[in-house]
């Protein structure tokens, strides 16, 4: 058993403390890819899964989120073990523009970013100061000057999925069905709601930004783009930066007092962090009843979410903690340079503490694939 050390990070916000919003550059989209093939979830360097936001006509309301529910193509359990695989493939495909020679080495390479992860992990960290219910585990490797971060399943995560109720699974499927009502393959076509909902396919963008002076590269699944004309990204990739992406959400329309409090405390925070990290300004939210019928769609400006969650959370605390955590990791692991050694950080939500342990050498926790290690270190064979 590895010994654990306390990270000594201040997680909970101090009541009354005024924290300025830290430097956070506008995210820049540098590329994209699609996940295709249904349950096979294959990486494809194309915009095949790009979708357009096209709201349903008034005559289609109420929208029935139960339509074709049993035919939906569900994500396989193995999706939890994908890690950063799709991001590694994107970096490999774009290695000429994303890597540089490592200082003092003829063959070894370094990435243009100090940190690599998914948007979801950044959102998770931003929400941590206000999280009292869910623990998390993040494993981190430092190799050739870059930190690779991956959220690993905890025992709690596995238990939650095993105990998931039929109602919880239905709520999740309603979200995918609502997307099908609002997103289409072409701006000239109505959304096709007759086909089975494919919960496996995705369109993702890759972003770079500076967070408190730290260079971060991350991938994010994108719902849809607003455009009256087809976007030919494969012919003109540079047009990606000018696209206006939106989020599509669904929630219960009539909330009682406790439900409204939960929405303000949790949903507004999660949605703001998720959208802010990719520069999204608009959310289109379907308001449903308990039977899964959407009566109307509400436009929510992302900038309004902090005001809705006032006295519950602040963007300043979220962004500041993210930077504190990344800086702590950078300092703690500054001497590490191994594609196999990982530091496993564990957040105890009830205690509000973060501990870590170092697992040296190759182990079940190592997650950088061999082809990626070879890309970065072509002249040196790694020890087993």
Cα 157 to Cα 152, 154, 177, distances in angstroms: 9, 5, 24
CA distance 35 to 46: 9
The tens digit of pLDDT for each residue in 298-349 reads: 999 999 999 999 999 999 999 999 999 999 999 999 999 999 999 999 999 9
Give the strands of the sheet with 353-359, arranged side by side. Answer: 5-6, 353-359, 342-348, 136-143, 146-152, 115-118, 214-221, 202-211, 28-36, 42-44
| Angle at alpha carbon of residue 285, lines to 246 and 278, rounded to 5° | 30
Place of tokens 């339509």: 67
Answer for the pair 173, 199: CB distance below 8 angstroms, yes or no.
yes
Cα 298 to Cα 16, 88, 182, 259, 269, distances in angstroms: 34, 37, 13, 18, 18
CA distance 265 to 128: 13
The tens digit of pLDDT for each residue in 224-236 reads: 999 999 999 998 8
CA distance 310 to 264: 8
In this prediction, the residues of the chain whose per-residue pLDDT falls under 50 are 1-2, 384
Cα 202 to Cα 77, 176, 322, distances in angstroms: 16, 11, 26
What was the pLDDT predicted at 93?
98
Pairing type for strands 146-152 and 63-64 reads unpaired
Task: Tell me the pTM.
Answer: 0.95
CA-derived radius of gyration, the chain: 21
Task: Tokens for 33, please give them.
Answer: 């890819």
What was the pLDDT predicted at 15?
83
Answer for the pair 279, 27: CB distance below 8 angstroms, yes or no.
yes
The tens digit of pLDDT for each residue in 154-164 reads: 888 989 999 99
For the chain, the structural domain boundaries read 5-376
Please report the beta strands in 254-384, taking only residues with DSSP state E, as ranges in sequence order: 282-288, 293-301, 342-348, 353-359
Environment class of 274 (CB within 10 Å of its CB; exposed 0-12, middle 13-18, buried 19+): buried
What was the pLDDT predicted at 2?
46
245, β-bridge pairs: 225
What was the pLDDT predicted at 16?
79
């Amino acid at each position: 058993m590895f010994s654990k050390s306390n990270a000594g990070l201040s997680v909970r916000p101090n009541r009354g403390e005024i924290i300025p919003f830290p430097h956070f550059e506008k995210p820049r989209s540098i590329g994209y890819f699609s996940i295709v093939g249904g349950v096979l979830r294959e990486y494809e360097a194309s915009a095949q899964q790009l979708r357009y936001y096209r709201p349903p006509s008034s005559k289609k309301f109420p929208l029935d989120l139960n339509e074709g529910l049993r035919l939906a193509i569900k994500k396989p359990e193995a999706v939890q073990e994908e890690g950063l695989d799709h991001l590694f493939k994107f970096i490999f495909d774009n290695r000429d523009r994303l890597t540089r020679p490592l200082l003092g080495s003829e063959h070894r390479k370094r990435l243009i970013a100090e940190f690599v992860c998914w948007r979801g992990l950044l959102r998770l960290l931003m929400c941590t100061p206000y999280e009292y219910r869910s623990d998390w585990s993040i494993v981190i490797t430092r190799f050739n000057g870059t930190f690779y971060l991956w959220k690993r399943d905890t025992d709690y995560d596995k238990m939650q999925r095993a105990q998931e109720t039929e109602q919880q699974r239905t709520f999740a499927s309603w979200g995918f069905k609502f997307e099908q009502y609002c997103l289409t393959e072409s701006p000239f076509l109505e959304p096709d709601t007759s086909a089975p909902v494919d919960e496996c396919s995705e369109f993702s963008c890759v972003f770079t930004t500076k967070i408190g002076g730290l260079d971060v590269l991350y991938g994010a699944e994108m719902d849809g783009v607003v455009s009256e004309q087809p976007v030919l990204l494969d012919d003109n990739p540079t047009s990606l930066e000018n696209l206006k992406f939106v989020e599509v959400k669904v929630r219960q329309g009539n909330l009682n007092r406790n439900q409204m409090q939960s929405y303000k405390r949790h949903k507004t925070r999660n949605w703001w962090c998720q959208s802010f990290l990719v520069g999204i300004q608009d959310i289109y939210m379907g308001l449903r009843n308990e039977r899964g019928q959407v009566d109307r769609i509400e436009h929510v400006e992302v900038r309004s979410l902090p005001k809705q969650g006032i006295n519950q959370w602040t963007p300043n605390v979220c962004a500041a903690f993210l930077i504190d955590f990344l800086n702590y990791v950078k300092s703690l692991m500054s001497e590490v340079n191994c594609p196999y050694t990982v530091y496993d950080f564990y957040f105890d939500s009830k205690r509000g503490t973060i501990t870590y342990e170092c697992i040296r050498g190759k182990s079940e926790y190592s997650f950088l694939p061999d082809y990626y290690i070879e890309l970065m270190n072509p002249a040196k064979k790694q020890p087993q």
